[in-house]
Chain A
């Protein structure tokens, strides 16, 4: 069945780059998404990538997609304390619904 996996925790120093990884199983996904959840709030769309792309860059965010390995990553350059949150990857497109990973809790320390 459909499955999206992420590591649960990531801790980085302020100013360093963060890389959050995700693997998925549904190779027919049209879009893959990254959502951000700040404390006490719901999930908000951060960025997405179309499945025929390998990379997408948006300011400090870089999304890399390896379709062969079904691997998606989110790189945050110059990580700030305000980036501390839970990051979810999700796949959708040809499935009936978005499938979310369990989320990666990013902690940024000074």
Chain B
């Protein structure tokens, strides 16, 4: 398996535009997590899914953020409209069970100007 795959690796967009980040978890993993990493706040859990169902989205900053997992092999994190303060590295991770080792993707570095 190639591991958790995220795309794009880098995204630069203008304020107000819609941004969609994509993630392909490791095949067979049942849990998927979206994290955001910034220098000021460290690593923050935004939302996680178990068996494609959102379990806890309390970390999603506000209504501009939404995440979907239409099937076991794909998830998206959407920001609409984007703002400069959304600039961060966004990580997707998956695990076999919800509380076992999480495998991380390479991250998407988002810059909103």
Which A residues contact B (CB, under 8 angstroms)? 30-31, 33, 40-45, 48, 88, 90, 92-103
Contacts and interface: CB of A to CB of B under 8 A. Distances in A.
B25 interface: no
Interface string B94-113: 01001111111111000000
Name the prevailing secondary structure of the A interface residues.
loop
B43 A103 contact: yes
Interface of B: 4, 31, 33, 35, 41-43, 45, 48, 55-56, 91, 93, 95, 98-107
A97 B99 contact: yes
A107 to B, nearest CB: 15
B105 to A, nearest CB: 5
Contacts, number: 60
A101 B45 contact: no
Contacts of B102: 43, 45, 90, 98
Contact of A96 (B55, B91, B103, B107): B55
B91 A102 contact: no
A45 B94 CA distance: 13
A55 B72 CA distance: 37
A100 B99 contact: no
